[in-house]
Amino acid sequence: MGDSHRYQTNDELPTVNNPIEATTQKNFLKHVILLFCAAGILLLASIQTQSTKRSTHPWTFFFEEEHKLDIDEERNQAIGLVTGFSGHMERKFELLSLKSDEEKNQLWHEFKKLYGKEYRSMEEEKEKFGVFLANLQTIDTYNTRNKGALHGITKFSDMTRDEFKSMNTLQLQTFKQDVNNFIEKAENFVKSVVLGESHISAPDLDDCPACSRFPELKDFLSEGKLPEKFDWRTYEAVTPVKNQGLCGNCWAWAAAADIEASWYLAGNDLVTVSAQQMSSCAPDSLCCVGGVMATGFDYVIENGGIATEDDYPFVDGMGKCSECLTVLSVGDNQKVHISKWSSLTSLDDELKRDLIRFGPISIGINAQPMQFYQGGIDAPDDCDPQGLDHGVVLVGYGSAEADSEGYWIIKNSWGPDWGEQGYYHISEALGACGVGELSMKSFV
């Protein structure tokens, strides 16, 4: 899509071809488990210019400059209204695959217009249109099988499942063995494991760094009964959702959000730290093609801190890695600091307890069911809990009042136009796509 003369789509739809077959997967493994990120596939520059306009599209979210949800009545009648972060939703949807050819063509035109889609040739657009039509059936399958969530047309709707997976894949068999070894060692070392020369240590089981800023949290922990719901956003410990664009550096954004919260809970101002600096400067970083949160943590410790995003902004949104800017990555610019990190392997109630006492936690997740997610509590039944391929941040948990099903609240890095204003709600049941299998936390 980098051609200077791109094929501009016209009013006549191309003939439908079969969906594109799987693209070549990238396999990397470097010293530690490398999380290959489910990158935001396209930079949606057109959204910036359209975001203040009222939506007339029957199936999509629009966000104003403040990233507030703006959904019109036509869209509500088509596929549903997601309301807030509580997991409640008025779930109305149509079976998109049963729409007429004319309606499907209209959906395709609206999809291209909204997301600024341009293809290099007529042939490529034919293929992408075929993929789009096939994905309408997949969306319908998700919506009929999963009653708690809403799936629909997203920025990833012209990608095959294998194309989407290729953005966040790794050597699965090797990864599974590493995860098993990781968990076994973690149990032996009381919820910690030494990875190379990482600055890692086991946290005190009674420690509560977050309690120094919010003493009332001690009540939750001392009473032995965790609250039904908890969300670090209500404590203003979470910065706005970011968009990694074409750069597969989800690991850096996850590490950055983790560090931001740790710094804030230690009594400092909440600031956004530079994911770009971690991607470009960390010695073990593969930048836009993969990494793990530990890589970022170790770099920040050894570097004596990290700059804020204001001082070292993100520029790799098109997927091309930038060289480390030494002048920005040393000295007084390093305003945020951590001293160590710990690798947690707790699940369920233990993970909730750790979330309350330590703050937001960076985790790995299997991103496969997230391609068409728009809201609600997702409960995928075909998600490998050990197929971790994406770095995200756990910020809270809750229960839906209708059925009391617990769910995790996860901050993603695909922009606020994806999911529930950039967040993902996934059920605690069914292994939750590996939530808790790989959890890492920084400490000031």
Q: How far is CA 351 from CA 57, 119, 357, 376, 435, in A?
A: 40, 44, 10, 22, 9
Return the ∠ at Cα 371 (arms to 370 and 374), rounded to 5°: 70
Task: Give me the catalytic one of 37, 208, 247, 250.
Answer: 250
CA–CA separation, 93 and 241 (whole Å): 27
Residue 116's region, left for phi above 0, alpha for psi from -120 to 50, else beta, is left
Task: Give me the catalytic one of 37, 390, 425, 433.
Answer: 390
Residue 146 appears among annotated catalytic residues: no
Residue 412 appears among annotated catalytic residues: yes
State the amino acid at position 158 in one-letter form. D
The secondary structure of the chain in percent helix, strand, coil, rounded to multiples of 5, reads 35, 15, 50
Instruction: Residue count of the chain, please give it.
Output: 444
**Bridge partners for 291 per DSSP:** 35
Residue 333's region, left for phi above 0, alpha for psi from -120 to 50, else beta, is alpha
Q: Which of 361, 360, 357 is closest to 208 using CA atoms?
A: 357
- Specify the 3-state DSSP secondary structure of 235: helix
CA–CA separation, 42 and 61 (whole Å): 16
State the amino acid at position 57 in one-letter form. H
Q: Which of 297, 268, 335 is closest to 196 using CA atoms?
A: 297
Return the ∠ at Cα 263 (arms to 259 and 269), rounded to 5°: 125
Computed on alpha carbons and rounded to an integer, the radius of gyration of the chain in Å comes to 21
Q: Are strands 406-411 and 390-399 parallel, antiparallel or unpaired?
A: antiparallel
Angle between helix 101-115 and helix 122-145 axes, rounded to 10 deg = 110
DSSP H or E stretch at residue 89 = strand 89-90
CA–CA separation, 207 and 266 (whole Å): 13
> What are the structure tokens assigned to 375, written together?
């809201």
Evaluate whether 170 touches 36 at the Cβ level (below 8 Å).
Answer: yes
Q: What are phi and psi of 393, to 5 degrees?
A: -130, 125
Residue 67 appears among annotated catalytic residues: no
Task: Give me the catalytic one of 146, 412, 425, 433.
Answer: 412
Supply the residues annotated as catalytic: 250, 390, 412
